[in-house]
Amino acid sequence: MKADQREGNAPMKVLVTGGARSGKSGFAEKYAAVLGHEGLYVATAQAYDDEMRRRIDLHRQSRSERGFRWTTAEEPFALAEMLERSTAPVVLVDCLTLWLSNWLLRLEQEPDAEAQLEAKIDSLAAIFAAAKQPTVLVTNEVGAGLVPEYKLGRIFRDLSGRMNQRLAREADQVFLVASGIPLELKSLAFKL
C-alpha cells in the first residue's frame, strides 16, 4: 500500500500525537509532503501576546524553508467547516488541542459547554473520516501528567483524551512522536 492511499484508493487519514516539543509538527509536515505535492496548512493558534506571535512567525519561517509549497490558513474555530470545503491536494492541521482550547475558553461559562464540545469533536471526526484528500491532524498527549488542580484543566484534559481517541478511530495511521522518533501505533495495537 502506498503511503498516501489506503485500500480502495481512499485518501490517507493520519493522526500525529506526542508531548510538547516532541517533534510531532516537524514529522507531520514531512509526512504531509510525502502525501501530496502542495498543501493547505491550517493553523489553529491565536497570537495573544508577543511571545506567541514570535512562535507563529518561527513556524511560518520553518515551513517556508522546507521547500514544500504550503498555503496557510489561520482558523482557530471553524476547523471542521474548513476541512469540509478544502480542495487542497493534502491538508495538515496543527494543532487540535489548541483548537479545543480555543473553543473551551469561548464556551466555559455555558452550562452545556462539554456537550457542545463533544458535538464539535464528533462533527470534526465525521468530516475527517469523509475527507477527499490525504489529511494529517496534529494533537497533543496531555493526560500523561498530574491531574490538573483546576476544574477547567480537568475538563480540558478529559476532552482532549476523548477527542484523540475519537479521531484515532477514524485514522488509518496514528503516530506517537517521542524525542523526535515517530512510532506508528495502529500497526502495533494489541487486538482483544
pLDDT tens digits, one per residue of 21-37: 999 999 999 999 999 99
- pLDDT of 64-85, one tens digit each? 677 789 999 999 999 999 999 9
Active site positions, annotated:
59
- pLDDT of 99-145, one tens digit each? 999 999 999 999 999 999 999 999 999 999 999 999 999 999 998 88
pLDDT at 10: 78
6 pLDDT higher than 60: no
pLDDT at 4: 44
Confidence of residue 155 (pLDDT cuts 50, 70, 90): very high
Rounded (10°) angle between helices 96-107 and 151-170: 140
Parallel/antiparallel/unpaired status of strands 181-184 and 173-178? antiparallel
pLDDT at 143: 85
pLDDT at 8: 56
Could you tell me the three cell numbers for 83?
A: 476541512
pLDDT at 62: 74
167 pLDDT higher than 70: yes
Q: How far apart (Å, rounded) are the C-alpha atoms in residues 136 and 152? A: 28
107 against 46, higher pLDDT = 107
Residue with cell 469533536: 121
Could you tell me the three cell numbers for 4?
A: 498516501
- pLDDT of 80-104, one tens digit each? 999 999 999 999 999 999 999 999 9
pLDDT at 1: 36
Q: How far apart (Å, rounded) are the C-alpha atoms in residues 184 and 62? A: 25
